Structure 1
Amino acid sequence: MLKVLVACGCGMGSSQLLKMNCSKVLDSLGIEHEVEHTSVGEAKSMAHNYDLVIVAENFVSSFDADCGATIVGLKNIMSKKELKDKIEALGLNS
C-alpha cells in the first residue's frame, strides 16, 4: 500500500482538496493507497513515515533530500491531470 501525505501552507482547505483529488487519481490508476493531509510545517517532520509527499512546487525545497519519501511538487495543486502525469512518471502504477 502506498502511503501518501499531501500538504499545503496551513494544512486546511487546499490540502483537503488535494487529498480528495489524489485519492481519485490513485484509484483511477489502480494503486492501493492511504492519503493524509497536513501543513507543510508538520509534513517536514512526518515525511519519513510516507512513501510520497505531494506539495506545491514552491514548498519542495522545504524538505530534506534524505527524508525517505519521494517529494512531488505541483504547479497547480488542483490539477488532477498534472498529478496523474507526475505519478505515472514515477512508475508507481506499474
Structure 2
Amino acid sequence: MLYLLLEDTFDIDVENSNVSQVIDSYMATTWRGHRDKLHDHIKEIGGSDDLTRAKTTPPSDIMKEDWEYLCDLWSDKKYLEIAKKKVMAHQNENLIVEMVRRV
C-alpha cells in the first residue's frame, strides 16, 4: 500500500530492489524512533505498574487499539524478561569496550 502511494506521488520505481531496500530501511528507522517515543510515554505515565492508567492515556498520534496492544506487549512478563536480558547484555558489551579501551 505504501509503495503504491509512493509511486503515485513520486517518479520512483519501487520494483527496483535497491530502491525498495532504501525505502524499507528508512521506514524501519522511522518506526524504531516512533516506537521508542511511545515506549518512553508508557514509562512516564506508570507503565506496567499501572496498566489501566497506561491504556487510558494514549499519545495523540496512535489509535486506541494499537496503543492497548503495545501496552499489553510492553507489560508482558516474557517481553520484560527478554528486555532485561538485552539491557544486561548491552551493559556487558559496554563494559568490555571500556576494558579494551583501557588496555
- What is the TM-score normalised by the length of structure 2? 0.25
Bigger Rg, which one: 2
- What is the TM-score normalised by the length of structure 1? 0.26
Instruction: Tell which has more relative contact order, 1 or 2 (C-alpha 8 A, sep 6+).
Output: 1
